[in-house]
Amino acid sequence: MAHQVAYISDDADVLPRPPGALPGDEFRETCTQCGDCSAVCTAKAITLDDDGFPVLSALALCQDCGLCADICTRGAIAFAAVTWSGLQDMLAAEKDCIWI
C-alpha cells in the first residue's frame, strides 16, 4: 500500500505523522496528546514521541485502516482518501467474518 503522510518534517530525526494528520504547527496545536490513536492502532505502527505526539514509528506496518482518524475527536488526524478506503475495506472484511 502506498502511504500518504500529511506531514513529514525537513528534520531527518523526526518521524512522520499518521496518514491524514494536519500539517505542522496546526497538528501540534490541535492534538491533545491523549494517545487514543496509538492505543487503537492494531498494527502497532503509531507510537508517541518524546512530547507525547503520535508518530508512525513503523511506517511499513501501517495498514491505512483509518482507525486513528476515526478515534481522533479533535480532528488532528482526519480521514484521507487512502484511510477512508482502508476503513471501508476493513469493515467489509469484518462483516464477512464468522465470529465463534
Between CA 83 and CA 56, with CA 34 as vertex, the angle to 5 degrees is 45
User: Rounded to two decimals, what is the model's pTM?
Assistant: 0.75
In the Cβ-directed half-sphere of 45, how many Cα atoms lie within 13 Å? 20
User: Mean pLDDT over residues 76-94, rounded?
Assistant: 82
pLDDT recorded at residue 7: 41
The domain defined by 24-96 folds into Alpha-Beta Plaits (3.30.70)
DSSP 14: S
The domain locations on the chain are 24-96
Tell me the mean pLDDT in the region 61-79: 93
- In tens, the pLDDT along 71-81 reads 999 999 998 88
Beta bridge partners of 48: 54
Helix boundaries (H) for 1-100: 24-30, 36-40, 67-71, 81-96
Read off the pLDDT of residues 1-54 as tens digits, 9 standing for 90 and up. 444 444 444 444 568 999 999 999 999 999 999 999 999 999 999 999 999 999
